[in-house]
Amino acid sequence: MEKRLDDENHLIKLMSKPIKATGKEGYRSNLSFASKFCSSAAKFLKCKTRYSKYDGVVAKALPLYSKVYLNTEYKKKNYFSTSDYDKKYDIYKEYATVIEKIIVEINNLLNKDEVDHIIWYTYKGDEVED
């Protein structure tokens, strides 16, 4: 796992900080947007570090992939965002770590973007069973 994700001032964590919702009561945060922004920016800027894009479809399917490729049982809830700001970032770190472990397990034949796309396209529109 990249040590940068453990940084308390990591851009993904800062960008997913809750903000006042416009025209609504309460606050909102967007882990998905923050991770997709950082992934795209790192690719555009040709950075060595790459980031997994957090997505609800991938989050639902990731336990199936961790079972098959890592022989590790995870519950769907382990990867789902919460309203707790600190827990939300912890969920992203675990989510990204599992994707990285799968990539290592398949001998780096795919990169993070490719794994994200394969899982997303495979399960988009389908309900993933527990």
Total-model pTM: 0.80
Give kind and range of the element (H or E) at residue 27: strand 27-28
Residue 116: exposed, middle, or buried by beta-carbon count in 10 A (0-12, 13-18, 19+)?
buried
**Residue 2 pLDDT greater than 60, yes or no:** no
pLDDT band at 1 (very low <50, low <70, confident <90, very high): very low
Domain ranges within the chain, ordered by starting residue: 3-123
The pLDDT value recorded for residue 107 is: 94
For the stretch 41-65, pLDDT in tens is 999 999 888 899 998 889 888 999 9
The CB-based long-range contact list for 109-118 (8 Å cut-off, 24+ gap) reads 111/50, 112/39, 112/50, 112/51, 112/52, 112/53, 113/39, 113/43, 113/50, 113/53, 115/52, 116/52, 116/53, 116/55, 116/58
pLDDT averaged over the chain?
Answer: 83
